[in-house]
C-alpha cells in the first residue's frame, strides 16, 4: 500500500462477521472431519473453502456499497487448515485451484474498490512461548494466513505480544527471535498489538522499532492497561512504526469505564471513546463492537455529523446549555416539553447562542466549559456572537 496521502481520511473497518446481513462464513469441527475417510474429509473442506470465498466476496461487496473501508477476514476462512490431524495443503483439495481463483477474485475486487483487508490470528498464536511446539504451531498458522493474505491483497496479519512468563524482556526477545523463522510473505505483513492485561504500548514500542514490526494501537486495551504514555503520545509513536497506512483498534466498554469489567466490548462505540487526535490522521480503525456492521455504520454517521453547542434563554430568564447535531429538531423537543428536564418547567425557550464543533466529543467538552462560566461571562459570550 502506498504512503499516506497528505489529506486525512479515517477508514472504518468491519471485523469478520455480520450482525444483520445474511452473509455467513462456514466452519466445521475436528470431530466431523476426523470421522470421515480422508478423501471425503478433503471434499467437505474443499466445499467449505469455496463457500467462504464466495461469502468473502459478498462481504466486500457490502462494504463497497456502504462505504466501509476495511474488512477483517476470519482466521478460519480455510477451516482446520493447520490442524495437526485434519490440516491440508490447498493443492490437496479437489477444488483447490478454484478456491484460490475465487480468493484472488476477492483481492481484485477489494483493490478496485479501495477496501483494505486484514487478518487477526486467534489467541493460540504465541511467538514468545517457551514451549517449542506452541511456537511451531504459531508459525504454521501465520504462514497459512499470510498465504491467503497474499491471494486477497491483505497487508496486515496482526497478533498480540503473547505471555510475559515472569520476564517481559526475555519473552519479547523470544518474540523477536521467532521472526527470523517467518517467510518474507508472513514477516512483511506481521503486526503486533498491545493487550488489556500484559503488554502496553510502552512495552511493545521498543520491539517495534528494533524489528520494524508496526504497532496496531488498541486504545481500548491501553485504557484498560495503561502505562506512562498518554493516548496522544501512544498514537504518535505508534503511527511512526508504520511504513503503510496505519491500522488501529477501537471499542467501548460494555458497562462503561466505571463498570466492573471495562475490558468487555459494547455493542456500539461511544463517540467520546474515539480519540480526537485520530481525527486528522489517514488511518484504518477496526471497530471491535458486537453489533458489527450496524455499529460501524452508526459510527460512520456520527463521525460525519457536525455538532452544535447552544444556549437557550428560558421563560424565567435562566440560561440552559446543551449540544445537538440537529438544532431545529432539538429546540422543537425542548418547547414540546420532551427535551431536558431543566427546560420542561421553564417554557418557552429561545436560542440565544450557538457555535459549531467538528464532532460530539469536542462539543461535549465545549459544553462543559460554557456551563462552568459565570452568568456574566455567558452573557458576554452571547453578546459577542450577536454583535
Q: Would you list the domain boundaries of the chain?
A: 10-304, 307-384
Q: Are 206 and 171 spatial neighbours (Cβ–Cβ below 8 Å)?
A: no
Assign residue 80 a region: left if phi > 0, alpha if psi is -120 to 50, beta otherwise?
A: left
Q: Do domains 10-304 and 307-384 have the same CATH topology?
A: no
CA gap 179, 118 in Å, rounded: 19
Q: How confident is the model at residue 1 (pLDDT cuts 50, 70, 90)?
A: very low
CA gap 3, 155 in Å, rounded: 13
Q: How confident is the model at residue 4 (pLDDT cuts 50, 70, 90)?
A: very low
Q: How far apart, in Å, do the first and last CA atoms of the chain sit?
A: 51
Give 69-91 as a DSSP string. Answer: -EEEEPTTSSTTTT-TTT---GG
Q: How confident is the model at residue 8 (pLDDT cuts 50, 70, 90)?
A: low
- With residue 160 as reference, give the H or E element that holds it: strand 156-160
User: Which residues are CB-contacts of 144 (< 8 A; sequence separation ≥ 6)?
Assistant: 78, 81, 82
Which of 307, 301, 310 shows the shortest CA–CA distance to 363? 307
- One of 3.20.20.150, 3.60.70.12, 3.30.870.10, 3.40.50.2020 is the CATH number of 10-304, namely 3.20.20.150
CA gap 82, 186 in Å, rounded: 15
Paired with 249 in beta bridges are: 218, 286
Q: Name the least confident of 75-79, 131-135, 255-259, 287-291.
A: 255-259
**Structure pTM?**
0.83
Question: Is residue 224's pLDDT more than 50?
Answer: yes
Within 10 angstroms of residue 278's Cβ, the number of other Cβ atoms is 21
Dihedrals phi, psi of 69, to nearest 5 degrees: -90, -5
Grid cell listed for 186 = 508472513
CA gap 82, 79 in Å, rounded: 9
Q: What mean pLDDT is predicted for residues 319-330?
A: 91
Which of 155, 174, 111, 342 shows the shortest CA–CA distance to 243? 155
Class for the domain spanning 307-384 = alpha beta
CA gap 192, 12 in Å, rounded: 19
Q: What is the pLDDT of residue 312?
A: 96
Most confident of 3-12, 218-227, 352-361, 378-387: 218-227
Q: Are 260 and 131 spatial neighbours (Cβ–Cβ below 8 Å)?
A: no
Q: What mean pLDDT is predicted for residues 104-119?
A: 98
Question: Is residue 7's pLDDT more than 80?
Answer: no
Amino acid at each position: 500500500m502506498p504512503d499516506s496521502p497528505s489529506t486525512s481520511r479515517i477508514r472504518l473497518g468491519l471485523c469478520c462477521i455480520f450482525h444483520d446481513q445474511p452473509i455467513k462464513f462456514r466452519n466445521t469441527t475436528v470431530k466431523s472431519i476426523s470421522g470421515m475417510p480422508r478423501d471425503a474429509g478433503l471434499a467437505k473442506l474443499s466445499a467449505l473453502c469455496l463457500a467462504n470465498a464466495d461469502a468473502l466476496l459478498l462481504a466486500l461487496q457490502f462494504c463497497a456499497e456502504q462505504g466501509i473501508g476495511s474488512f477483517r477476514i476470519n482466521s478460519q476462512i480455510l477451516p482446520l487448515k493447520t490442524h495437526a490431524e485434519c490440516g491440508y495443503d490447498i493443492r490437496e483439495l479437489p477444488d483447490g485451484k478454484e478456491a484460490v481463483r475465487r480468493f484472488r477474485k476477492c483481492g481484485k475486487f477489494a483493490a478496485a474498490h479501495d477496501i483494505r483487508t486484514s487478518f487477526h490470528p486467534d489467541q493460540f498464536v504465541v511467538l514468545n512461548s517457551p514451549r517449542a511446539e506452541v511456537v511451531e504451531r504459531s508459525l504454521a498458522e501465520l504462514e497459512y494466513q499470510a498465504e491467503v493474505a497474499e491471494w486477497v491483497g491483505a497487508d496486515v496479519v496482526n497478533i498480540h505480544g503473547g505471555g510475559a512468563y515472569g520476564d517481559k524482556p526475555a519473552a519479547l526477545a523470544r518474540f523477536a527471535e521467532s521472526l527470523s523463522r517467518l517467510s518474507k510473505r508472513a514477516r512483511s505483513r506481521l503486526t503486533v498489538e498491545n493487550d488489556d492485561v500484559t503488554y502496553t504500548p510502552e512495552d511493545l514500542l521498543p520491539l517495534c522499532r528494533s524489528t520494524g514490526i508496526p504497532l496496531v494501537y488498541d486504545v481500548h486495551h491501553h485504557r484498560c492497561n495503561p502505562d506512562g504514555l498518554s493516548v496522544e503520545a501512544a498514537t504518535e509513536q505508534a503511527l511512526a512504526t508504520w511504513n503503510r497506512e496505519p491500522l488501529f483498534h477501537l471499542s467501548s466498554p460494555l458497562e462503561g469505564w466505571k463498570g466492573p469489567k471495562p475490558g468487555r466490548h459494547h455493542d456500539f462505540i461511544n463517540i467520546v471513546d474515539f480519540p480526537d487526535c485520530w481525527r486528522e490522521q489517514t488511518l484504518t480503525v477496526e471497530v471491535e463492537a458486537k453489533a458489527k456492521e450496524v455499529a460501524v455504520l452508526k459510527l460512520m454517521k456520527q463521525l460525519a455529523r457536525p455538532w452544535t453547542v447552544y444556549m437557550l434563554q428560558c421563560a424565567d430568564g435562566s440560561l440552559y446549555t446543551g449540544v445537538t447535531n440537529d438544532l431545529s429538531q432539538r429546540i422543537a423537543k425542548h418547547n414540546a416539553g420532551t427535551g431536558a428536564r431543566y427546560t420542561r418547567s421553564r417554557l418557552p425557550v429561545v436560542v440565544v447562542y450557538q457555535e459549531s464543533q467538528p464532532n460530539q466529543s469536542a462539543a461535549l467538552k465545549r459544553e462543559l466549559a460554557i456551563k462552568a462560566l459565570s452568568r456574566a461571562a455567558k452573557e458576554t459570550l452571547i453578546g459577542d456572537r450577536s454583535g
